A = this chain, B = another copy of it.
Amino acid sequence: MDFYFNCYAELGLQRYMVSDRPRTDAFAAAIKEALEGGETVIDVGTGSGLLAMLAAKAGAEKVYALDQSAVAEAARETVERNGMSQRIEVVKGNAAGFQVAEPVDLIISEWLGHFAFAETMLDDVIDCRDANLKEGGRMLPCGVELKLAPVGSDVLYMQDGPGFWKKQVHGIDFSHLEGRELEQALAVKTEVHPDDLIGPAKGLFGLDLAKAKKEDVWQSGRVEMEIKHDGELNGFAGWFVAELTPSVILDTGPAHEITHWMQTYFPISPIPVKAGETLEVCFDLTRHPVEERSLLMSLTVGDSSYSFTVG
């Protein structure tokens, strides 16, 4: 826990997020759209304070900007320097336990992690919502959906993935490490290109963040994956689409400008596939049993099952 919040005290990490243009521009547009003037707002995990200040600029009357990390102190100074101290109250503390006197109109939070749910920060946002959001109040983002698409990629699997071990290195045979690395089942945060996909993405599930309960994140299900190209299926690409407002969508998929979330590659032992084929894929997303704030994403295709750590 301490390590988690400590890392957000690093201004280099804050800069990494603020300088992610598709992310920051989408939140800026959504905040502008969501506020008419006079609203009360909570920003959960304010970090640099940017979203709270954009809410104040968009007309919010009062913004509670919460952060548990030491960055709260820097955010407070930024708020002062921008002349917004009257309207923004930076609160250093735990969002899950925060209780405001009057329920608020809007809760903003950029709680999104790797494959949306890594870091499991949504738990705190939901607690904060249940304690502080007015009846009929809104969440920003208001929805999130997970996507999964079939991958057949020489770069992801052979060059930068377990398939690397197939080739000898200076005459040494490492080929048995391919299977061992697949068994370790680490999901990789990387850039997936549209050409790496051999079929369209399917939605796994979506959440309505005005209503979702904590346990709604942990879902299992089944999707039919269509294959559009002959070749080899050697994994899946995952990402999220966040609905910031009904008209401002932040899509972190391969067809969109890259963000700091990139995409998630789940490598699997290659399976020959043919165009027109349909594959049934079962998934099961759970909390990681050992690594706090990580996810366990189980994927089953044919006879093979993998339990991927998404950290």
Within 160-205 of A, Cβ neighbours of B (below 8 Å) are at 160, 162, 164-165, 169-174, 176-177, 180-181, 184, 186, 188
Stretch with Cβ within 8 A of B (4 or more), from A10-18, A128-136, A208-216? A10-18
* Interchain CB contact under 8 A, A24 and B77: no
Please name the residue on chain B nearest to A19 by beta carbon.
B164
* Interchain CB contact under 8 A, B82 and A173: yes
A169 CA to B82 CA, complexed, in Å: 12
Given A19-B164, A164-B19: A11 and B180 interface contact (C-beta under 8 Å): yes
B-side contacts of A77, CB under 8 Å:
176
A78 located at the interface, meaning its Cβ lies under 8 Å from any Cβ of chain B in the complex: yes
A57 CA to B52 CA, complexed, in Å: 62
Please name the residue on chain B nearest to A31 by beta carbon.
B170
Given A19-B164, A164-B19: A12 and B181 interface contact (C-beta under 8 Å): yes
B-side contacts of A53, CB under 8 Å:
172
Within 56-90 of A, Cβ neighbours of B (below 8 Å) are at 57, 74, 77-78, 81-82
- Annotate A151-166 by CB proximity to B: 1 below 8 A, 0 otherwise: 0000000001010110
Distance (Å) between the CB of A140 and the closest chain B CB?
A: 15
* Interchain CB contact under 8 A, B180 and A74: yes
Given A12-B181, A15-B181, A180-B74: A24 and B173 interface contact (C-beta under 8 Å): no
* Interchain CB contact under 8 A, A186 and B12: yes
Q: How many residues of A contact B (CB 8 A)?
A: 36
* Interchain CB contact under 8 A, B177 and A48: yes
A54 located at the interface, meaning its Cβ lies under 8 Å from any Cβ of chain B in the complex: yes
* Interchain CB contact under 8 A, A184 and B11: yes
A50 located at the interface, meaning its Cβ lies under 8 Å from any Cβ of chain B in the complex: yes
A28 located at the interface, meaning its Cβ lies under 8 Å from any Cβ of chain B in the complex: yes
Distance (Å) between the CB of A178 and the closest chain B CB?
A: 9
A13 CA to B82 CA, complexed, in Å: 44
Distance (Å) between the CB of A188 and the closest chain B CB?
A: 7
B-side contacts of A74, CB under 8 Å:
177, 180
Nearest first, the 7 closest Cβ-Cβ pairs linking A and B are A11-B181, A28-B170, A53-B172, A15-B164, A11-B177, A82-B173, A12-B186
Chain A residues with CB under 8 Å of chain B are: 10-12, 14-15, 18-19, 24, 28, 48, 50, 53-54, 57, 74, 77-78, 81-82, 160, 162, 164-165, 169-174, 176-177, 180-181, 184, 186, 188
Please list 27 pairs of residues, one from A and one from B, whose beta carbons are closer than 8 Å in the complex, sorted by A's number: A11-B162, A11-B180, A11-B181, A11-B184, A12-B181, A12-B186, A15-B162, A15-B164, A15-B165, A15-B177, A18-B169, A18-B174, A19-B160, A19-B164, A24-B170, A28-B170, A48-B174, A50-B169, A50-B170, A50-B174, A53-B172, A54-B172, A57-B171, A77-B176, A78-B173, A78-B174, A82-B173
